[in-house]
Amino acid sequence: MSTDLGIWLSALLSLAAFSFLIKENKFYNIAESAFIGVGTGYAFVMAWSNIQSKGFGQIAQGDYLTIVPVLLGLCLFGKMSKSTAWIGRYPAAMLMGMGSAIAIRGAVQSELVRQIAATCVPLNSVNNIIVVVGTLATVSYFLFSMKSTGSQLSGGINALSKLGRWVMMVSFGAAFANATMQRCAQLIDRLRFLFEEWIYLIR
């Protein structure tokens, strides 16, 4: 069995977290609070060191333009009081506007043009047929304006959208299976730690 205090602490906290599987209890609550506290503390330290090195540090070295983002960042604290909340709207507006613009800039080409191009494939293999039909069927599921007109066209789109629902269910199933696989990996990691590094059962 390990004599390392850090491993003992980690092992006991792991067991406390696992105890939730029986029922919620004080040990689990302690582990949960410790996890949230440590995570928040770590994130705060990282953010502070980031501000120091990339904010104040740069100003101290003569990069006075950095004062602008630092001031805008400080303005966000205005939201802590109702009377000064308006000050925080300016940096918040900039954050949202710039964030959206940066995301949209690459999205049109990478997620629209290139993805459409990737579905324009010759129908010479089962895989390609599944890609093309599956994509069309899924997109048709989201055509809400043409489904209830009673025409032959709307009947065809209805049938295609039903297929689209099945395609989405298959993809959700794959996503769920992968999520299960990830949870298994996390459990394996913890059990390996407990039985390998703590009580030396695994060699």
Partner 1 sequence: MGAAPNDNTGKKGISRQFMYLLTVLAILLPLVFPVGMPVSVTPWVEKGYQHVEKLNPGDKVLISFDYSASGAADIHPAAEAIFKHLMDKDVKVITVAFVAEGNRFPGMLMSAWEEQGKVYGEDFIHLGFLSGHETGLAALFADIPGAAPVDSRGNPVTSYPIMDGVKTVADCKMFIGLSGGNPGPQQYVRQLEPYQGVEIFTACTAAIAPTVEPYLASGQIVGLVGGLKGAAEYETVMGYAGKASANMDAQSFAHLLVIGFIVAGNIIHFTSKKNEGN
Looking at this protein, which amino acid is placed at residue 30?
A: I
* Nearer CB in complex with partner 1: 85/185: 185
Distances from the Cα of 159 to the Cαs of 128, 134, 184, in angstroms? 21, 13, 38
> CB-wise, 108 or 153, nearer to partner 1?
108
Helices (H), the chain: 5-18, 26-51, 57-60, 67-75, 85-107, 114-119, 126-141, 152-192
Residue with Cβ nearer partner 1 (32 or 147):
32
Task: Judge contact between 3 and 199, C-beta under 8 A.
Answer: no
The DSSP result for 100-153, as a single string, is HHHHHHHHIIIIIIHHHHHH---S-SHHHHHHHHHHHHHHHHT-GGGSSS-SHH
Shortest gap between Cβ of 52 and partner 1 (angstroms)? 9
Residues in Cβ contact with 107 at an 8 Å cutoff, skipping those fewer than 6 apart = none
* Residue 72 Cβ vs partner 1, minimum distance, rounded to whole Å: 13
Least Å from the CB of residue 177 to partner 1? 9
- Smallest distance, partner 1 to C-beta of residue 51, A: 9
Write out the residues near partner 1 by the rule CB under 8 A.
21-22, 39, 42-43, 46-47, 49-50, 53-54, 57-58, 98-99, 102-103, 105-107, 109-111, 114-115, 117-118, 131, 171, 174-175, 178-182, 184-192, 195-196, 201-202
> Would you say 84 or 182 has its CB closer to partner 1?
182
Measured between its terminal Cα atoms, the distance across the chain in Å is: 12
Min dist. Cβ of residue 45 to partner 1 (A):
8
The nearer residue to partner 1, 21 or 80, going by C-beta atoms, is 21
